[in-house]
Amino acid sequence: MKETTVLGIKLSVTTKEELLSLVKTCIQQNEKLAFVAINARKVMRAREEQEMARLLETFDVFLADGASVIRSSGVKMERITGVDLMETLCAHGEELGLRVFLYGSTKEHNEQARQALQQRFPSLQIVGGCDGYQDADVIEQINGSSANIVFVAKGTPAQERWIAAHKQEVRANVFLGVGGALDIWSGALRRAPQWIQRLGLEWLFRMVLEPRRFVQLPQLIRFQRLVWKEKRKRQVREHGITEERN
């Protein structure tokens, strides 16, 4: 799988079709596979916090979650959010042989999400679930359920910490951090309309719905400044090389 970087943080250049094949192979061969969704905030946290940088290095596939990271990479690639990949995997659950465990959110929203997913994908095997608060025995629950894929909805960086710390002792094969996906499936959280997603403004939609997120703005501004500086440095280097050749 091809990779590129944004401000030194990895991005996988891939497609949903390629990821479906990767998951299928992983399950058939009883291997481990961990996905992490990369957006501008996560890039900045990884640059500013050693713990986040170390956590990201433990993952296998780096989803291009944010429109801004895709634009900044300068590489043509498909935007794949954790929420979208979760839905795609569930839609192909039968052919992939998925046995799903839902981990995270509140007990009520977890159960509502399970019901909504089961209604949308009747053939999907959802073999267990646990909220993200009363989870002292979650590893035992997952292993007892014979799940082979775990959707972890605990938010960043909690879900990344959990996957990094426990993926080897959990007998499931595939791990995907999905943030607020269970709240969306439960109906408790509204996702941006498709036209807003296409414009790359889903982050702004979330901020309007959840004003507490406006504290993230300075970090997003720093991201854009750093990207601009990196772009200018490349242009200067490339210009210098061109002059030398001439």
Six-digit token string for 159: 């879900």
Alpha carbons 68 and 30: distance in angstroms, whole number: 35
Residue located via tokens 């050693």? 50
> In the chain, which residues have pLDDT < 70?
235-246
Residue 133 CB contacts under 8 Å (≥ 6 apart), including other chains = 106, 107
pLDDT at 167: 96
| Torsions phi, psi for 186 (to 5 deg) | -75, -20
Burial class (CB in 10 A: 0-12, 13-18, 19+), 63: buried
Closest CA to 170 of 183, 156, 151, 189: 151
pTM here is: 0.89
Number of H helices, E strands in the chain: 13, 8
Inter-helix orientation angle 158-166/50-57, to 10°: 50
Alpha carbons 196 and 136: distance in angstroms, whole number: 38
In the chain, which ranges are E strands? 2-6, 9-13, 33-38, 61-64, 99-104, 125-130, 149-153, 174-177
Per residue in 183-226, pLDDT (tens digit) is 999 999 887 777 787 777 777 777 777 777 777 777 788 888 99
- The number of residues making up the chain comes to 246
- Strand-pair category, 33-38 with 61-64: parallel
